[in-house]
Chains A and B, each alone.
Chain A
Amino acid sequence: MPENWNSADMMNVAAARELHDGNVCLVGVGPPNLAANLARHTHAPDCRLVYESGAIDAKPRRLPLSIGDDDLAATATSVVSVPEMFNYWVGAGRIDVGFLGAAQIDKFGNINTTVIGDHDNPKTRLPGAGGAPEIAANAGRVIVIVKQSTRTFVEKVDFVTSVGYGPTGRERQAPGAGPTLVITDHGVLEPDPETNELTMTRLHPGVTVEQARAATGWDLKFAADIQSVPEPTETELDMLRRLRAREVIDA
């Protein structure tokens, strides 16, 4: 791996590249926030960022720490209440792309962000659902950003917080297309067109099939024509560093 970027940088850059001008994107805290703002400051200046706190078309001058930072409302085209956000915008299907994280994800894209262990007596209490279940159901497409490991990529999630394609990959009933991309620090997974099983279709530079397999808690399948993700460019890396440093950046 080169000296000037690491696998986490690659993951964020790869996620940002999936967002295009004109896309309406619902942004959550953490890597999704970084990726969406990276896209806006590089190749997709006209993507539209929506934060579940109520800011529509937010143009934050520096990377917000929370989804409710003061800069979001101050720079938004419109600010709506939380019930309006979830009923008229997310629930009504006005979001093109939803970025989600995961503590656990299974081979059919079902996501756990609630508990590790039993719900009433958990080993680890996680933050919970937030906006994710409705984003997973209603966004036109869902991009999951998550580091790949056997702890995270599991045969069966301990709790289904957000539905991907259902327990056997065939139960999805929601309006949106579901998790069409899972972007990790190893590469990119996409649902198989027949079975909806998450299949590795792209690998990041320097990552091997063996490494990706070892980081997965199920018998991972690989596309026959597996692609390589282009390395991050200097422009992408520079902007990523400035966003992480929470510099004020003029659009």
Chain B
Amino acid sequence: MPRPVPLDEAIATHVHDGDTVALEGFTHLIPFAAAHEIARQGRRHLKLVRMTPDVVYDQLIGLGVADELIFSYGGNPGVGSLHRLRDAVEKHWPHKVVVHEHSHAGLANAYVAGAGRLPFAVLRGYRGTDLEQQSDIISRVTCPFTGEELAAVRAVNPDVTVIHAQLADRAGNVMLWGLTGVQREAVLAADRAIVTVEEIVDEFPERTGAVILPEWVLKAVSVVPNGAWPSYALGYSTRDNDFYQQWDAVSRDRGAFLAWAKENGLEAAADA
């Protein structure tokens, strides 16, 4: 991997139609620029995975990129609905999206199992909820030591995981800090991982609590300053809460959404 590659080349090489693709980042460090590049290249029939679909998947779903979605919280945080997600699920526009849903604990642990190359993970949640009806991803298992009945979640192993980070060094190792979400697990669960970074440095700074991913678990690193906007990169930007609030009006209306797509060079992707 080491040599940084342009983002369009990284996406063209590693993200294919029909892939299971995770773009992770829990509110912080969401790889928006990479998502837009996936749409711009016209990818189709993706199975998207993300704990919080957020505005980033609202955009991809509205653009017709996804056929399925694995997620755990599909709202615009602090604002309201993700209207493109709702339109796809409720009215099948631009086409039907099949949803598989977890709790945060469930999906986080599904990534943990995936990263460890185990078939499932164990947790104490889910008992008595209707989420258990999704028996293909959630089941129960009995502890062989105590007899306690626990929830089991099927591992998630994306074909590709894409994340955004603050730094890469010249060797292509990657460093991120702040709210680090589930990115380490999502990268290690994937067959291929792509990282966009704010900048490349000669040496990493000392940082308590930082996550460092060795270059040999990554397929590509691309330098994309501000590649998380309107999400943010701690130390480089703050969350553009105004954009998140304004998105509500854009996504609420199909026409306004298509106009947004056109303005941003993403209209070719929309199959509506």
User: What residues of chain A have their CB less than 8 Å away from a CB belonging to chain B?
Assistant: 29-30, 33, 52-55, 64-70, 72-74, 78-79, 81-83, 86-87, 90-91, 114, 119, 122-125, 127-134, 137-138, 159-163, 166, 171-175
Report yes or no: A87 in contact with B123, Cβ–Cβ below 8 A: yes
Evaluate whether A83 and B179 lie within 8 angstroms (CB atoms) in the complex, with A67-B77, A124-B90, A162-B129 already known: no
In the assembled complex, the Cα of A55 lies from the Cα of B178 at a distance in Å of 9
User: Helix, strand, loop or mixed for chain B's interface?
Assistant: loop
Report yes or no: B125 in contact with A91, Cβ–Cβ below 8 A: yes
Report yes or no: B103 in contact with A130, Cβ–Cβ below 8 A: yes
Contact of B108 among A29, A86, A159, A173 (CB under 8 A): A86
Give chain B's interface residue range (CB within 8 Å of chain A).
Answer: 35 or more
Known: A29-B75, A133-B126. 20 other contacts (CB 8 A): A52-B104, A53-B181, A54-B180, A66-B77, A66-B78, A68-B28, A81-B182, A82-B51, A82-B182, A83-B111, A83-B112, A83-B185, A124-B90, A125-B90, A127-B81, A129-B72, A129-B129, A130-B75, A131-B105, A134-B104
- List A contacts of B131 (CB < 8 A): 114, 129, 133, 161
Contact of A70 among B71, B82, B101, B234 (CB under 8 A): B234
Report yes or no: A83 in contact with B109, Cβ–Cβ below 8 A: yes
In the assembled complex, the Cα of A159 lies from the Cα of B131 at a distance in Å of 8
User: What residues of chain B have their CB less than 8 Å away from a CB belonging to chain A?
Assistant: 26-28, 51-52, 71-75, 77-79, 81-82, 85-86, 89-90, 101-106, 108-109, 111-112, 123-131, 133, 178-182, 184-185, 209, 211, 232, 234, 238-239, 241, 244-245
Report yes or no: A166 in contact with B130, Cβ–Cβ below 8 A: no
- List A contacts of B181 (CB < 8 A): 53-54, 81-82
- List A contacts of B73 (CB < 8 A): 127-131
Report yes or no: A70 in contact with B239, Cβ–Cβ below 8 A: yes
Contact of B72 among A55, A70, A130 (CB under 8 A): A130
- List B contacts of A29 (CB < 8 A): 75, 77-78
Report yes or no: A83 in contact with B108, Cβ–Cβ below 8 A: yes
In the assembled complex, the Cα of A163 lies from the Cα of B28 at a distance in Å of 30
- List A contacts of B77 (CB < 8 A): 29, 65-68
Contact of A86 among B104, B179, B209 (CB under 8 A): B104
B240 to chain A, nearest CB (A): 10
A63 to chain B, nearest CB (A): 9
Q: 6 shortest A-B CB distances, which residue pairs?
A: A68-B27, A127-B75, A66-B77, A130-B73, A86-B105, A65-B78
Report yes or no: B28 in contact with A133, Cβ–Cβ below 8 A: no
Report yes or no: A66 in contact with B241, Cβ–Cβ below 8 A: yes
Report yes or no: A81 in contact with B180, Cβ–Cβ below 8 A: yes
- List B contacts of A130 (CB < 8 A): 52, 72-73, 75, 103-104
8 contacts between A and B (CB under 8 A): A30-B78, A66-B239, A66-B244, A83-B185, A87-B109, A114-B130, A130-B72, A175-B124
Minimum CB distance partner of A72 in chain B: B179
Contact of A119 among B51, B108, B133, B211 (CB under 8 A): B133
User: Helix, strand, loop or mixed for chain A's interface?
Assistant: loop
In the assembled complex, the Cα of A83 lies from the Cα of B127 at a distance in Å of 19
- List A contacts of B102 (CB < 8 A): 129
In the assembled complex, the Cα of A30 lies from the Cα of B124 at a distance in Å of 26
- List A contacts of B71 (CB < 8 A): 128
Evaluate whether A160 and B129 lie within 8 angstroms (CB atoms) in the complex, with A54-B26, A70-B178, A122-B90 already known: yes
Report yes or no: B130 in contact with A119, Cβ–Cβ below 8 A: yes
Q: Taking each of B74, B85, B178, B209, which has the highest tally of chain A beta carbons within 10 Å of its own beta carbon?
A: B178
Evaluate whether A134 and B128 lie within 8 angstroms (CB atoms) in the complex, with A81-B181, A82-B181, A124-B90 already known: no
In the assembled complex, the Cα of A138 lies from the Cα of B104 at a distance in Å of 14
Report yes or no: B85 in contact with A125, Cβ–Cβ below 8 A: yes
- List B contacts of A64 (CB < 8 A): 78
Evaluate whether A91 and B182 lie within 8 angstroms (CB atoms) in the complex, with A114-B101, A119-B130, A160-B130 already known: no
Evaluate whether A91 and B28 lie within 8 angstroms (CB atoms) in the complex, with A66-B77, A73-B178, A131-B105 already known: no
In the assembled complex, the Cα of A21 lies from the Cα of B31 at a distance in Å of 38
Report yes or no: A83 in contact with B103, Cβ–Cβ below 8 A: no
Report yes or no: B105 in contact with A125, Cβ–Cβ below 8 A: no
Minimum CB distance partner of A70 in chain B: B238
Report yes or no: A133 in contact with B180, Cβ–Cβ below 8 A: no
Report yes or no: B239 in contact with A65, Cβ–Cβ below 8 A: yes
In the assembled complex, the Cα of A134 lies from the Cα of B241 at a distance in Å of 28
Minimum CB distance partner of A160 in chain B: B130
In the assembled complex, the Cα of A70 lies from the Cα of B229 at a distance in Å of 13
Report yes or no: A129 in contact with B179, Cβ–Cβ below 8 A: no
- List B contacts of A128 (CB < 8 A): 71-75, 101
A169 to chain B, nearest CB (A): 12
Evaluate whether A171 and B128 lie within 8 angstroms (CB atoms) in the complex, with A53-B181, A54-B26, A123-B90 already known: yes
